[in-house]
Structure formats: structure tokens, C-alpha cells
A and B are shown apart, each in its own frame.
Chain A
């Protein structure tokens, strides 16, 4: 068992590394960058940002002098080969300094014009660091789970800080929602399975069919207008994450129900299917033949087998309920993790994307591992060694 767990953890690390690498390069190859904005920044201002987030290389004047032979380039558009002359600085005396491209690529800013007088140490141009070098620079830190600062916060918050703030909120919401969904879904599924083709079965299945077709973006607003705006039982907005006591329970009710309801049909159907399969199996018939009561058969023998399909679904299911609450979080104004799955990618906030990918992958890997372990307890036929 221990060997199995260690083996899985090790292979998970490899998976994480591959994921980080893939997302790193995919993000860099997506068009545009983190500093492109509605009102375009002057090249020099943007160049300062590239330098600040260690994505750029600055070319400076070694000598004071006059600029000539400035290259004609469109910043961030023209592709230049390594060694291309960007400008030449001619000092009053001594040899001129040639400013050249250190590698293939574009320039973020070429700040001088022909005839400009520059002082020694002046910044002449800023070049984006080649992507592979950026990768080498940061992969070491990523492997120690240090993802750096988020670009959208202008370096004022680290990725880890943001994840640690948002993750507990989404975990609470997802955990409660899953608990609620199981509470409703498992009994419904068991009953439907046991009373196969009865009116109970049909009504549970029809209800779950309806439930599965109503997305949270529909059920949420309905619940809000009924119970928050209409009856006024619960607040319509906010989570009050900072207040961690029972005084804020009303804020939790509607989001948890909205999110949970979406999973009830799946759980009910899985449980029903499992029960149907088990209840017809030979060992249940044997139990019946031994003269056990229906109640005992279900509780002692059928239950365990019936929930096996559900258990294998719980791993990915739990991961998706924690991370898949985008709609619910935005409907109720909950400052959880969900937003971070979308916005950093759109904003090209590279470090944050990496952090989120790692968190999601880690949750998925861990939950699957837990499911595999639980399986061995539920099904004696499964062995991990």
C-alpha cells in the first residue's frame, strides 16, 4: 500500500512538471502579453514593466555620446535577427559603441532617435527575454512551489497568497455543496434502485432528468429572486468569508444549495445504477436464500457495492465541484478560486496561471489517490499491491 502511494505521488510530480511546462509555453505563445491594454502604454513605460517582472533585458549606453544609425523598427512587431544593430553611440573621443540585438526577437522599446545625446548608463532599448530563458529562470522556483507575484496585482501580492486566500472559500463552498448533494442524491438513488420501475423510481428519475437540464445559471437566479429578493429569508449576495463563525450561515445557504442541486441528479443516477447491478448479482441471491431480511441485505451487502460507481466518480466530481463553481461564485459575489480559472488566462497573468494549474492538478491527483485507497476498503477484489 505504502509503495503504491509513494509511486503514485512520484508519478504525480512528473505529471505536474509536464503540466507546468506545457502551460508555461502555451501561455507565452498565446497572442498579446500581460501589459497590452485598452489605451496602449508608451513603449518606454511598457518596457519598465517588462523589466520589473524580469521578462526583459535592458541594453544600456556604456559611453556618453550621440546616437546615429538607429534601426527602423516597429516596437513589438518587427522581428530582428541576433546581431542587428539597433543604434550606434559615438562619444566625443574614443571608439563608438554599437548597440546590437543579443538574440533573435523583437524590441519592446527602442528609446532613442538619431541625433539624441545620451549619458553613460542611459537605457537605450529593452528586449524581451527569450521564452526558453524565462522558463529556465523560473522553473526552479516553480518546483519549490514558489510561483512569484501576480502581474495583475502589480507585484503587490504573491500567487501563493492569492491561492491561500481563495482556496479555503472554494473548498468550503464545494465541501458543503457536495455534502448537500450526497445527502439528497444517495437516498434518492438507493430508493429508485430498490423500487425499480415503480412510481418512486420514475419520479426520482424524471426529477433528476429535469435537474440535470437546469444549469446553475438558471437555478441560481430563481433561488435568489424567490428566497432573497422575494421572501427575504437569505441575503442575496456575498459570502462573508472573513467572519468564520455561525453568524454568517445565512450567506452560505443559497450558494451551497444552488451548487449542490446541480450534482444531485448525477449522484442519484450513479447510485441507482450501482444498486440495480448489485441487487441482481449472485451473492445477493445467496444472501436472500440464506433467509436474510431485505433490510439487512441492503445495509450489510448491497450498499457497499452499490456506491462503488459513485465513489469512483467522487474524485473528479469533488475536484469539479471545488473548481467548477465559476457561475455560482460570480452569481453570489463569492471571492473564491473560480474566477482565477478564467481571468489570469485572459489577462496573460503568467505566474497566476501556473499557480492555478498546479492547484487544480494537485487537487485532482490527490482526490483520485484517495478514491483508489477507499476502493480497497469497499471492494475486496481490488488490491493496490
Chain B
């Protein structure tokens, strides 16, 4: 029963995915000038790679149920495809791989810990899964030591800091607004 998803769990996980879909869309609007430079030098993109991995970790920390990270990242990927992302349907398997990393972290902790270390581990593992995917799928033709390895390490570091610590900070900022009141993450604040 504890692990059964309530309607609000499903809807909120989906809403997190949809909201980040819109945030990524807005990101492209706001940063279209710099985006070009980023695209032409892919290693620079890895610094912000963690931003794309926030939905998985954030949903895991809020929903606290098995599958939350995986489901949310899968929905987020599908939504970006629906919104006309240039990468098409390949974002779906990629999203699944990325969600799997965060999911694995929460599973390793038996879905019991939701503190900062858990968030960092989730950020780290989702970064690892993303890095492994890119290492083989997108970067195979590049030099190992001067490119593929630094790229992978930067991806993992960015994910740990931005997706891991960032999601944790986000939950701490969201809880006082009252929107998480129906979740464990929102109830750990003081009685009002």
C-alpha cells in the first residue's frame, strides 16, 4: 500500500515533467544567442548537462516511490519529442537510461532516505548513466583521453551538483510554499 501510487503522485510526477519541458523550451528562447556557441563546442554543454537531469532526481525526492525517477524522465523525454524536439524519438530511450540512474540510487537506499546524500547519489548515478550513453552512442569517434573521458567526468560532476544538490535545494524551497503538503517532502516543515 505504501508503494501504491496515488493519483496525486502520478499527476505531480507528470506535471514536473511537463513543467521542465516548458522550462527547457524557455531556456532555448532566452539563451538562443549563447546556445549556438554551446552547440558548436559540445564540451561546454556538459557544464549545464545536470539541468536536463533535474526532473528525475526532483520527482524521486518528492514522490518517494519506486519508479518515480524513471517514469518522470520518460514522460519528460516524450514531452520534449511531442513539443517537436529536433532529436525526435531517440530522446525516449535516452530519457529511460538517464532516469534509470536516479532510480537505481533511490533503490540502493531502499527508498528510505531522501536527504542530501541520497540526492547527491541520485544526481551522480543519473550523471553516470547519461555519460555512459553518450560515451558509446555519441562520442565513440572522438579521442579517448582528451575528449571522451573528460566529457564523461564533467557530465557526472555537473549532474551531481546541478541535478543532485540542485534538486535537493529545490525541494527545500518548494516545501515552504505549501505545494508539497500532500507529500512527505512537504510535511517535514514546522506546524503552522
- Does chain A bind chain B? no
Binding site for A on B (CB under 8 A): none
